[in-house]
Structure 1
Amino acid sequence: MAWREWEQIKADTAVRPSAPMRLNQLAPAAGGGGVGKPDMASSPAAKKAAAQAIDDDLEPGISRDGKHAAETTRDTVKAFGAKDGHGWDTSGALMRAHETWEKQVKMLLIRLSSEKQALSATGISMQNNEIDTAARLARPSRIQGI
């Protein structure tokens, strides 16, 4: 790029009415990416509490409510089903919708389990990274051996 082109780009940028982007500034006082948004950092205690909440509240509640919905849906499908050779179309449609819903509940439980494990393992991963970094920094330099 020629010097004149660079000067022209700088002049064009200076003329723009919008505020220039600044990359050399601190994050807002609220933390994170904007005003009023919470900081993404969390303490090990908060992560442990979140994993505990998943284990104690979410997973059992979803399983319990899923079983209740399955029983209720099964009864409804049976009530709308064919008794004398004729039944409501609603019965089959409800059964297919419930099958899809059951798959989604199973996927949600798998995801919650994965998140719980990730929350529990974060502290261990961080500690392992710190130990590894300390070990690398403590190694003698090749230059020192000369």
Structure 2
Amino acid sequence: MGWDEWDQLKSAAAERDSARMQLNGLPPEDRPNAGSASGGFLKVSQQDLAAIGDEAFKLYNRLWKEARVTSTDTTASDLSGQGFALGGALSHVSTRWDKQLGSVMDACALISNHMDFTQNAHAGDEIFIERHVSSIQTLDSGFDDDWAKAGKPNEIYKPDPKKKD
């Protein structure tokens, strides 16, 4: 491929893509479920986060109380001791159940903890932003032009009468 051909291909590609380039998004006609006209951004309140975390915590507690089956292990060992093959199968099922239950309970705990963390983090962010904005207002008030009446000089810049030229 020669340089001329390469330049032609580059310019053709630039013409083709320049009018259609879109970064980080699709045109509105390609995203029918994008939500409202304001952009479809998700909004969540602190109450929503707290409710999700609370439900995950309740589910975790219910799983702890109601989903664990401790008698299965005893039954499996009794059946195995009496020579039944069902004992080994029941033990295998019990082990798998415990692993899966542990995974679900871990997920519930993670969701609950994450919602608590998110709620606290956002509250901290709000306090930080509020402090930052209020400090800007305090700083801005120091640059207010109302330090002296119109036509009056600032007292700071008057010449010192004690100082001689």
TM-score normalised according to structure 2 size: 0.54
Please point out which of 37, 41, 45 is paired with 2:34.
Answer: 37
Q: Is the 8 A contact 1:59 1:109 kept in 2?
A: yes
| 1:14 corresponds to | 15
1:49, CA displacement in angstroms? 2.6
Aligned residues: 128
| 2:161 corresponds to | none
| 1:75 corresponds to | 71
**CA distances 1:27-62 after superposition (whole Å, capped 9, x unpaired):** 849xxx943034343143xx313312431x332133
Please list, as runs of the form range in 1=range in 2, the aligned pairs for 1:1-146 lying within 5 A after superposition: 9-15=10-16, 20-23=20-23, 28=28, 34-38=31-35, 39-44=40-45, 47-55=46-54, 57-71=55-69, 74-83=70-79, 84-87=81-84, 88=86, 89-134=88-133, 137=136
Gaps of 5+ in 2: 144-165
Percentage identity across paired residues of the two chains: 11
Bigger Rg over Cα: 2
Gaps of 5+ in 1: none
Mark the CA change 1:58 to 1:104 in structure 2 (over 3 Å): closer, same or farther.
Answer: same
In 2, distance between residues paired with 1:6 and 1:132? 56
Secondary structure of the residue aligned to 1:81 is helix
Q: Is the 8 A contact 1:48 1:119 kept in 2?
A: no
Mark the CA change 1:90 to 1:62 in structure 2 (over 3 Å): closer, same or farther.
Answer: same
Mark the CA change 1:10 to 1:48 in structure 2 (over 3 Å): closer, same or farther.
Answer: farther
TM-score normalised according to structure 1 size: 0.59
**CA distances 1:6-42 after superposition (whole Å, capped 9, x unpaired):** 77523323247xx72135x99849xxx9430343431
